């Protein structure tokens, strides 16, 4: 599945990943934490995903572990393995009930819809929850969204009700580093939610999902050590995922994404200016001229 025009991937050691997740949990000082895995690309390409789930499941502050997937690599055997490891919910993207359109929207050569629907049944018959999470590319997969709603209604008649099965339709948004689709444009969220309300009335199905539907609540924030406009010295460690992007260390606790107009010929110490300090969805971001 295409996830944007990036240049490289990285493998993170499982123990290192668990260590820093647990450090974040300590800072949050909260006993009701959901860990959600939603990387660029496909989570099941990460060979140590199951050991990571098992390790995190031992932390009593974590009440739920969930993951996002396109479902193509999931097998019935893998469903059993992640269930036994302690995964609580799978969010799986399905954008249409037409295989060719699914392949086109995902940037894939082939899309096995029968396989995915079989995996849905495997998940629904496990202890895990399933959230079907299509992206609505308005004007492109309108009929597909309706057919997915009808599929969920059919499953409801078979006894699979909220929260065991939920439908989380997403509004298509354009991101600078994300995959772009031709002749498809973002829609205003007001219009998007208006259309969802119409579907809710027509199909008697909850579609407008918010933080409370996923148990999301406020907790102690992780505070940034810098504000926009501040400067500091950092150590560039490696190239980043995108052109002119680098990964750097500020100290033993903080990483910094560094952007540069010029290619940095060598790694090492540089002075940078911070252009983003909000941690709501990113690392600290700095600029090296």
Res 1: pLDDT: 46
User: What letters, b where the CB count within 10 A reaches 16 and e where it falls short, cover 32-46?
Assistant: ebebebeeeebbbeb
Give the number of other Cβ atoms within 10 Å of residue 157's Cβ: 8
Phi-psi map region of 229: left, alpha, beta (phi>0 left; psi -120 to 50 alpha): left
In Å, how far from its chain's centre is CA 226?
Answer: 26
Res 232: pLDDT: 95
What distance in Å separates the CA atoms of residue 254 and residue 236, rounded to the nearest whole number? 12
Res 281: pLDDT: 59
pLDDT tens-digit profile, the chain (289 residues): 445 556 677 788 999 999 999 999 998 999 999 999 998 779 999 999 999 999 999 999 999 999 999 999 999 999 999 999 999 999 999 999 999 999 999 888 889 999 999 999 999 999 999 999 999 999 999 999 999 999 999 999 999 999 999 999 999 987 665 666 767 778 899 999 999 999 999 999 999 999 999 989 888 888 888 999 999 999 999 998 888 899 999 998 899 999 998 888 889 999 999 999 877 656 789 999 7
14-214: CATH topology is TIM Barrel (3.20.20)
What distance in Å separates the CA atoms of residue 70 and residue 93, rounded to the nearest whole number? 5
What distance in Å separates the CA atoms of residue 233 and residue 283, rounded to the nearest whole number? 16
DSSP 44: G
Res 6: pLDDT: 61
Res 280: pLDDT: 67
């Amino acid at each position: 599945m295409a996830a944007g025009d990036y240049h490289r991937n990285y493998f993170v050691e499982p123990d290192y990943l668990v260590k820093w997740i647990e450090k974040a949990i300590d800072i949050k000082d909260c006993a009701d934490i959901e860990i959600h895995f939603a990387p660029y690309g496909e989570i099941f390409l990460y060979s140590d995903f199951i050991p990571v789930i098992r390790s995190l499941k031992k932390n009593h502050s974590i009440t739920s572990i969930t993951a996002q997937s396109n479902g193509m690599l999931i097998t019935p055997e893998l469903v059993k393995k992640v269930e036994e490891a302690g995964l609580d919910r799978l969010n799986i993207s399905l954008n249409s009930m037409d295989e060719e359109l699914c392949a086109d929207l995902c940037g894939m050569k082939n899309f096995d819809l029968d396989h995915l629907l079989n995996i849905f049944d495997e998940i629904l018959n496990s202890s895990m929850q399933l959230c079907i999470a299509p992206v609505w590319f308005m004007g492109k997969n309108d009929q597909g969204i309706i057919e997915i709603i009808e599929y969920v209604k059919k499953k409801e008649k078979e006894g699979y009700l909220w929260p065991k099965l939920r439908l989380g339709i997403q509004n298509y948004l354009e991101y600078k580093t994300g995959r772009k689709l031709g002749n498809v444009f973002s829609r205003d969220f007001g219009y998007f939610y208006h259309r969802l309300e119409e579907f809710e009335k027509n199909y008697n199905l909850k579609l407008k999902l918010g933080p409370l539907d996923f148990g999301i609540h406020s907790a102690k924030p992780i505070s940034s050590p810098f504000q926009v406009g501040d400067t500091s010295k950092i150590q560039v460690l490696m190239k980043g995922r995108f052109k002119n992007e680098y990964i750097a260390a500020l100290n033993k606790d903080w990483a910094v994404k560094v952007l540069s107009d010029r290619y940095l010929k060598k790694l090492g110490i540089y002075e940078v200016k911070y252009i983003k300090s909000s941690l709501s969805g990113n690392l600290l971001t700095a600029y090296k001229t």
